Structure 1
Amino acid sequence: MADLSQIKEHMEVIGADGVHVGTVDHVDGDRIKLTKKDSGAQVSEGSGSHEGHHHYISGGLVAGVEGDKVRLSATGANAVTMEEEA
């Protein structure tokens, strides 16, 4: 697992394919809490009942932190299916 202490508020979370997955609200233990307004909204599987509340990404999916982006080891579409809801 990558060093989650490098992850800061408002960083963009992207899949291994570069697809936008969400925006960091904060790190909560070994998970990344995504902002409500942006939690999977750009990925088709993240619409409807998945909008309007917080989602979490497991820290185990983080491949690395590159500048102001958190890159996941899963593609954007796959990462959305692995999100946990608040």
Structure 2
Amino acid sequence: MADLSNIKEHAEVIGADGVHVGTVDRVEGDRIKLTKKDSGAEVEGAEPSHAGHHHYIDGGLVAEVEGDTVRLSANADVAVTFETEEDGSAI
């Protein structure tokens, strides 16, 4: 797992395939909180009914952090299936 302390607010989160997954709101513990507006709901395979609220990405999916970009170890369509709600429950 990459060092999550290097993740900046409003950094772009992309899958291993380079596809946009979301935008960082902030890091909370070992998870990345995505912004409500841009929380992966537009990625093919994501459930549109889950738009409009925060989603979380497990820090274990982070492959690397480069400046304002967080690259995940999974392709975007797979990564969104691992997103969780605030309470940690699956989406």
TM-score using structure 2 length? 0.90
Superposition deviation, residue 36 in structure 1: 0.3
Please tell me whether the aligned partners of residues 16 and 76 of structure 2 are also in contact (alpha carbons under 8 angstroms).
yes
RMSD of aligned Cα (Å): 1.0
Deviation, structure 1 residue 41: 3.0
* Count of aligned pairs between the two proteins: 86
The structure carrying a bigger strand percent of its residues is 1
Q: Deviations over 1:54-83 (max 9, x none)?
A: 000000000001121000000000000000
The unaligned stretches of length 5 or more in structure 1 are none
Give SS of 2:40's match.
coil
Q: Unaligned regions of 5+ residues in structure 2, if any?
A: 87-91
Identity %: 76
Range moving further from structure 2, 35-44 or 20-29: 35-44
Contact 1:4 1:59 in 2 (8 A): yes
Q: Which residue of 2 aligns with 1:82?
A: 82
Do the aligned partners of residues 42 and 48 (structure 1) sit closer, same or farther apart at CA in structure 2, a change above 3 Å counting?
Answer: closer
Partner SS state of residue 45, structure 1: coil
When normalised by structure 1's length, the TM-score is 0.95
Runs of 4+ in 1 over 3 A off after TM superposition: none
Which residue of structure 2 aligns with residue 24 of structure 1?
Answer: 24
CA displacement at 1:47 relative to structure 2:
4.3
